[in-house]
Amino acid sequence: MVFRTKVTAFVAPMGAFIALLVLNGLVPSLGKSFWLQHPEYCVFPLQTIVCAALLVRFWPAYSLQRPRQIAFGTIVGVVVFAFWISPQAIFGFPARMSGFNPDLFGAQPGLFLTTVVFRFLRLVVVVPLVEEIFWRGFLLRYLINEKFDQVPFGTFSWLSFLVVTAAFGFSHSSADWPAALLTGALYNWVAYRTKSLSTCVITHALTNLLLGVWIMSTKQWGFW
């Protein structure tokens, strides 16, 4: 695979993900209907489908090998989840009840189930793949050498560690910056220790699965 195509493979899913987030922010200015004022209920499923299609299209480029040190990845995934919810669950911060609320469709079981399924597909499958492929698979290596595919996965440099940790953290909402910065550092550690992109994906997916279950049980939709 030529180098330019490989860069596209690692960057395009994240590019599409961000572009659809931007679209989600612009749509409310187009009108006052429910679907225009709450475009996430349409845009997020579309984002899931588009990014999944791109991941399938470029799958051979990722060279996802068998995961390593699953126990370590599991511990990190649980620790990240615990840290993410600790302000509300442990320290008494105000609950974050405003956000993507599937209960709005509670009177329509089919629409409710579809909404929840797509939300979890996005949270547990698409987001971990898109983000780990970009942050750990691409940028963590690209900042060491522009020909990133020649850099063994999990190679450490202070520049790439600090930049990816900061960029990953500040790409989240400001309320989540402390948790997201720690998360970026710990996921980088998973990459360095396991030398396995698939383990990074699994770790991230576990964190998000636990978070999704916690959101559904506490109805703190602001954590989506």
pLDDT recorded at residue 49: 98
Look up the pTM and report it. Answer: 0.94
Report, as ranges of residue numbers, the positions in the chain whose pLDDT lies below 50: none
Position 63 scores a pLDDT of 82
**The pLDDT of residue 210:** 98
d(CA 82, CA 89): 9
